[in-house]
Amino acid sequence: RRQLNDHKRNRAMSTSAKTQPDALSRVYASALFEAAEDAGGQDAIEATLSELEEILELARENTRFDEFLSSQILGAKERSASIAAIFTGRASDHVVRFLRVLNDKGRLGHLGAVVSAFDELVQKRFGRVEVDVFTATPTQEGDLESLKTRLREALGKEPVLHAYTDEAMIGGLKLRIGDELIDASVATQLRNIRGDLRTGAADLRSKTDQLFD
């Protein structure tokens, strides 16, 4: 489980955090997707996504590595050699080649957007959907499995859940599916109830005033 505040802070600090992909990022992602598929089909594609997300996680946790990826000062040739030294034997050959291509094209600092685009391709091909689950306290595995079952039935896709703890919440849960936020938190329910009560009181006053007009 992750703390929401840490999650937000890490994303904000890292230039390699997952971001909304642009057209060029989707082109690079499609090329990598084809390379991974040629290397071993679905298993290789999923392994590639896992490797890319581990690299992004490393960039989020290690400021020096993040700066290494995005620095405009370091020469492309020098960085390419470093990429080979760091990742050869630790990542798939096609992933290492891909990182070096991004570096040569000056796009390595946009790795987060490329990974987001690659993630979209994986979800589309294999019928999956990423769902962020926010709760006030850590969610039990049994509850996550139950939620996954309900989401699978509702969405018609295989949900991949990412659980986060939001200490600002009173209770209930919030789900982020793509760009949509589904807020079923206790705080939101209380706000809605207060709104309904205010509306009801206003209606009652209006009707009472009409009686004495």
Q: What angle do CA 37, 153, 121 make, to 5 degrees?
A: 20
Indicate whether 29 pLDDT > 90.
yes
pLDDT reading at 1 higher than 60 = no
User: What is the DSSP secondary-structure string of 30-64?
Assistant: HHHHHHHHHHHHHHHHHHHHHHHHHHHHHHHH-HH
Instruction: Assess contact for 108 and 75: CB atoms under 8 A.
Output: no
Cα(first)–Cα(last) distance of the chain, in Å?
A: 61
Place of tokens 């207060």: 194
pLDDT the model gives residue 13: 38
- Contact present, 30 and 38 (Cβ < 8 Å): no
**In whole angstroms, what is the distance from residue 212 CA to residue 95 CA?**
78
DSSP state of 15: T
Q: What is the mean pLDDT of residues 18-34?
A: 88
Q: Is the pLDDT score of 104 beyond 50?
A: yes
Dump pLDDT digits (tens) for 167-203.
777 777 788 887 788 877 666 666 655 555 555 445 5
Dihedral sign from CA coordinates of 164, 158, 44, 36: negative
Q: Is 183 helix (H, G, I), strand (E, B) or coil?
A: strand
Beta-carbon neighbour count of residue 113 at 10 Å? 22
pLDDT of residue 152: 85
Mean pLDDT of 111-123: 90
What SS3 class is residue 73? coil
Which one-letter DSSP state was computed for residue 127?
T
Of the ranges 63-72, 114-123, 136-145, 177-186, which one carries the lowest mean pLDDT score?
Answer: 177-186
Contact 116, 20 (CB under 8 A): yes
Over residues 134-160, mean pLDDT: 85
Instruction: Please give the Cα distance from 72 to 68 (Å, whole number).
Output: 9
What single-letter DSSP state applies at residue 18?
Answer: -
pLDDT digits (tens, 9 = 90+) for 47-92: 999 999 899 988 888 888 888 888 878 888 999 999 999 999 989 9
Asked if residues 162 and 133 have their Cβ atoms less than 8 Å apart, the reply is yes
User: pLDDT class for 4, splitting at 50, 70, 90?
Assistant: very low
Q: Looking at the predicted structure, is the pLDDT value of residue 137 above 90? A: no
